[in-house]
Amino acid sequence: QGHSSPRRAVRFLFPKSPSQSKAMPSKVGVALATAGAYAAAQAFLAPGVTAPVTPSTGRHLRQATEASSAASCAGAGALAMGAAGVAVAANQKRVSRRCQVVRQAVAEKVFTKMPASVKPGVVTGQALVDLLNYAKENEFAIPGVNVVSSSSVNACMEAAKKAGGPVMVTFSRGGGQFLAGKAADNTDDAACIAGTVAGALHVRQVAKLYGVPVILHTDHCQKSWLPWFDGLIEASEEYFEKNGEPLFSSHMLDLSEESLEDNIAICKKYLERMAKINLLLEMELGVTGGEEDGVDNTDVDSSRLYTQPEEVWQVYETLSAVPNGNFTVAAAFGNVHGVYAPGNVSLKPVILHNTQKFIKEKLGCDSDKPVSFVFHGGSGSSLEDIRYAIEAGVVKMNIDTDTQWSYWSGIREFEKKYHDYLQKQIGNPEGEEKPNKKYYDPRMSLRSGEEKMADRLVKCMEDLKCIDRL
């Protein structure tokens, strides 16, 4: 312990007895024990890093060879310990080399269909712009999935891996707070910020392992929630200083309840800041009906559910003037959060088509789709409306309600299948003394939820034509 010499350590491990006191110690054995223990400790503390032999190290080894109180039988034990220590160190090095090979293989994966800038893992900056343009040109949309845990995050990336397409992992303010823990102090949105950042770091660590492009995004932020938004940008600014890219790929500002002038002005102010670290902004025009994660627009005037082309042009003209600024527009065309009975939602994707024509004429450009649109309130929409909206330049569609239901369905089905094994810790149809731990282990039911959510998301990606796009 502490700065105790190797000789003292060996004496502690191998105390001499009266019958051993006259025996000659094995100097080689004690030295090997010390060397092995030292190597093992270094391997555990810093796997894959070879510790230099310093004068202090050599002195410790010399001191070890001078030990004279251990019996010759201790020498055999010391030899075993030394050999084991050296073996542990060697094994740690082998494991480290294998990990390096895996990381290198992941990093070298190249997509054959995607733009060259798009790699596995979190996509930011120009690579993100290239990915969204690729989606628009090839008329498919990326699912933007709301997540509330590492489990739902993993289900998203599992689905993307199965489908062979990119995915957007989306954290809401409430989702971020849930990740931090509902009992955590949320003064000044501290828990909301910390949880969202923690979720982002989880995505950063595992995304490459799924071999797909992942957009790391945050959802609706109204004006009263701007402290949360500010905290997330600060986190990306700090990450940018160390890594040359932002922590997140993009953020959404939902200022649709403000006047058009204030909405545009605030978005411009934030985009100027975000552009400096290659963060993309998603902004909203009009109102998405229904209720989601604390935003309730169930009683909104129906006229506000439909955006006018002139409004989109004002946004486009202002935000395009921001140097290095990149943005998408969530223009309302009758969208409603949640699932409703047929006939209660009237989507009009033609609004997006008309808007593209209007702005193309204003710009006098060759592109038929100068604006990158996003589609909110996609759950329960008809396939015809979804596909027609994609043809108008929609590059991302939000999905939450359907994936929430599928996750719950997986857990419910697991409980139904193993109901008789989930009523007590011991005792089931196989016997009164049979343990049930492997059934009530939370990973079992949660995994069932992940699988159902991933399956539903693959179906969504089929609807969005986001299959085999890598």
Residue pair 390/355 in contact by the 8 Å Cβ criterion: no
Single-letter residue type at 340: Y
Cα distance between residue 224 and residue 243, in whole Å: 31
Single-letter residue type at 136: K
Cα distance between residue 51 and residue 54, in whole Å: 9
84-119 core/surface letters (b: 16 or more CB in 10 A; e: else): ebbebbeebbeeeeeeeeeeeebeeeebeebeeebb
Quick count: other Cβ atoms within 10 Å of Cβ 261?
Answer: 9
Cα distance between residue 338 and residue 200, in whole Å: 25
First-residue to last-residue Cα distance in the chain? 54
Residue pair 129/381 in contact by the 8 Å Cβ criterion: no
Instruction: Find the catalytic residue in 189, 219, 385, 400.
Output: 219
- Report residue 49: phi and psi, to 5°: -110, 120
Cα distance between residue 213 and residue 217, in whole Å: 13
Single-letter residue type at 447: R
Could you tell me which residues come within 8 angstroms of residue 138 by beta carbon, excluding any fewer than 6 positions away? 469
Strands 295-297 and 290-292: antiparallel
Residue 219 is a catalytic residue: yes
Single-letter residue type at 143: P
β-sheet bridge partners, residue 373: 329, 394
* Alpha-carbon dihedral sign for residues 12, 15, 21, 23: negative
Single-letter residue type at 406: S
Name the burial class of residue 11, with classes exposed (0-12), middle (13-18) and buried (19+) by CB atoms within 10 angstroms of its CB.
Answer: middle
Concatenate the DSSP letters of all residues of 163-200 into one string. HTS-EEEEE-HHHHHHHH-TTS--GGGHHHHHHHHHHH
CA-to-CA separations, 144 to 166, 232, 385, in angstroms, rounded: 10, 19, 17
CA-derived radius of gyration, the chain: 30
Could you tell me which residues come within 8 angstroms of residue 82 by beta carbon, excluding any fewer than 6 positions away? 29, 31, 32, 33, 34, 35, 36, 37
**Which active-site residues does the annotation give?**
219
